[in-house]
Structure 1
Amino acid sequence: MPYREHPYRAVPYLLNSRPGAAGSVDLHHSPLAFVHRGGDPARENTMAAFEAAVAMGYRYLEIDVRTSSDGVLVVFHDETLERITDGTGPLSEKTWQQLAGLRLRASGEPLLRFEELLTRWEDVHLNVDLKDGASVDEFARLVEAHGAHDRVLAASFNDARRHRVRRALSRRVATSGGWVVTALIVLLGPLGLMQRLGRRSTEIDCVQVPISQGRIRVVTPGFVRRCHRAGLQVHVWVVDEPEEMRRLLDMGVDGLMTDDAAALAQFMAERDGAVWPQR
């Protein structure tokens, strides 16, 4: 069933799930475009990358967060600092003051606090991958403090973190399924056993998956149909080639995440049925 015919759940974060969202273009039944870590590997998870993406027309930013030793939520993917910064060791062992002095080796950009990004724009949506258990309480506190419930999606491979987020918040935020739910859809779906997911599928709003996991092809027409029947959107990462973008959207996928912000922006601008910029 193509996404244009699919009755989405009415989730404010997923603006294409309901018509006439206040303050935005009507994205109803249009595909969503996300920049993965900012869509610029040289400036991964930095304010400069996110500002450039928003200027291109993006309103969905996929990010990762980890917690410093003094409880600050930092926009950062890796457990340790070496791959992209001039620092060393686990991020969790550094204070924010120490982390603020580091720079990305490729671009010289500083690290970014989650609260800075959350408050930078009022109309930008953050797809937040909670990378450590300590991030849950601070994430919930900041969402509550800034009334950002409709602008964030809580994502984690660890389903327990998603449950903790829900319990910590005064009202619901959008969530995506972890590995357990996704694996069950992949494995049970072809056997006609989707009903065995029970409440697992009703507690989430989408699945965010790679095209393949090892030798297993995850995103297939059957997988997309099964997710849609369960009321779930399908967002796919990481997609950088226009031909792959086209193939996936033709299959009925609801959102694409990319490391190449310029390529996906151009594709969306030329795609029939897409809304671009996402304003």
Structure 2
Amino acid sequence: MTKAILICHRGLSRQAPENTLAALEAALAAGADVIEFDIRTSRDGILYVIHDETVDRTTDGRGRVADMTSAELDGLDAGSWFGAAFAGERIPRLSVFLDACKGRIGTYAEIKAADPARVRDMLAARGMLDRAWSFSFDEGIRAQMRARVPDLRRMVLFQHTGSVERAVAAGAHILEFNETNVTPERVAQAHAAGLVTQLFYAGAEEAVFERALSCGVQQMNIDEPDVLRAVEARLMLPVS
């Protein structure tokens, strides 16, 4: 068994405020191979790394990201909600975030509300396309990805496609499972079709990690890297 590629979901969001530069640095310190992050667009067209439609949960402000200017978003505190040590942490502009990732970590961009061609061009300008891929829950954005940015690798969810065949037909490069639908047969079929397999899991149950690793899942999009690595170490121990 080989070690899985570790993807820190929204950065290392158990130790630092999600989708911030602090969460990126924490993910790097934890040995992450890839960072997952979310992208939205301000009222004046600046791309930001933030998950929610509004700033209410993860900053000291209120309102929809799409209704706020970059000046307003740049002034928000995106760290104090998580802990006093992170007071003053900002919502990163995507340009700043990618600059901090360049040459240090792979990138998985979940596009919540942004032009995928702009995201692709920002990655390409930094020479980062070879270690990047994208996904969106928005069907319209997924269609734009297929039509306009074919050189940016795309991920699909098994829960959306329902089969490996439909994932291939959708032009996917990566197929993501979750703890309810990952099976050895589906993972093997995906590998035979040339797809990279991935698991999304926000929990910490060792049995889930063990099952996914035993199925042969190659990438783990998770919140608990220490649990994953502990399970891997146990599975790799020689049988006495």
1:35 aligns with 2:8: yes
1:223 deviates by 2.3
Distance in 2 between residues matched to 1:270 and 1:58, nearest whole Å: 19
Q: Which residue of 1 aligns with 2:18?
A: 44
63 and 34 in structure 1: CA distance in 2 versus 1, 3 angstrom threshold: same
Q: 2:209 aligns with which of 245, 255, 270?
A: 245
Q: 2:175 aligns with which of 207, 210, 219?
A: 207
Task: Name the % identity.
Answer: 29
Q: Which residue of 1 aligns with 2:138?
A: 158
209 and 80 in structure 1: CA distance in 2 versus 1, 3 angstrom threshold: farther
Distance in 2 between residues matched to 1:257 and 1:40, nearest whole Å: 12
Distance in 1 between residues matched to 2:221 and 2:27, nearest whole Å: 12
Q: Which residue of 2 aligns with 1:126?
A: 107
SS of the residue corresponding to residue 250 of structure 1 reads helix
Distance in 2 between residues matched to 1:263 and 1:112, nearest whole Å: 28
Q: Which residue of 2 aligns with 1:101?
A: 75
Q: 1:72 aligns with which of 37, 46, 64?
A: 46
Q: Which residue of 2 aligns with 1:235?
A: 198
Tell me the amino acid that sits aligned with residue 183 of structure 1: T
Q: Is the Cα–Cα contact under 8 Å of residues 204 and 232 in structure 1 kept in the other structure? A: yes
SS of the residue corresponding to residue 118 of structure 1 reads helix
TM-score (norm 1): 0.72
Tell me the amino acid that sits aligned with residue 52 of structure 2: D
1:255 deviates by 1.3
User: Counterparts of 1:5-16 in structure 2 under 5 Å?
Assistant: none
Task: Count the aligned residue pairs.
Answer: 228
| Unmatched tracts of structure 2, length 5 or more | none
Q: Which residue of 2 aligns with 1:24?
A: none
SS of the residue corresponding to residue 27 of structure 2 reads helix
Root-mean-square deviation (CA, aligned residues, Å) is 2.6
Q: Deviations over 1:123-155 (max 9, x none)?
A: 3111110102x3323212312322321121011
Distance in 1 between residues matched to 2:92 and 2:233, nearest whole Å: 29
Tell me the amino acid that sits aligned with residue 152 of structure 2: V
Distance in 1 between residues matched to 2:191 and 2:55, nearest whole Å: 39
SS of the residue corresponding to residue 112 of structure 1 reads coil
Q: Which residue of 2 aligns with 1:92?
A: 66
Distance in 2 between residues matched to 1:46 and 1:76, nearest whole Å: 8
TM-score (norm 2): 0.83
Q: Is the Cα–Cα contact under 8 Å of residues 200 and 221 in structure 2 kept in the other structure? A: yes
| Unmatched tracts of structure 1, length 5 or more | 5-28, 213-217, 274-279
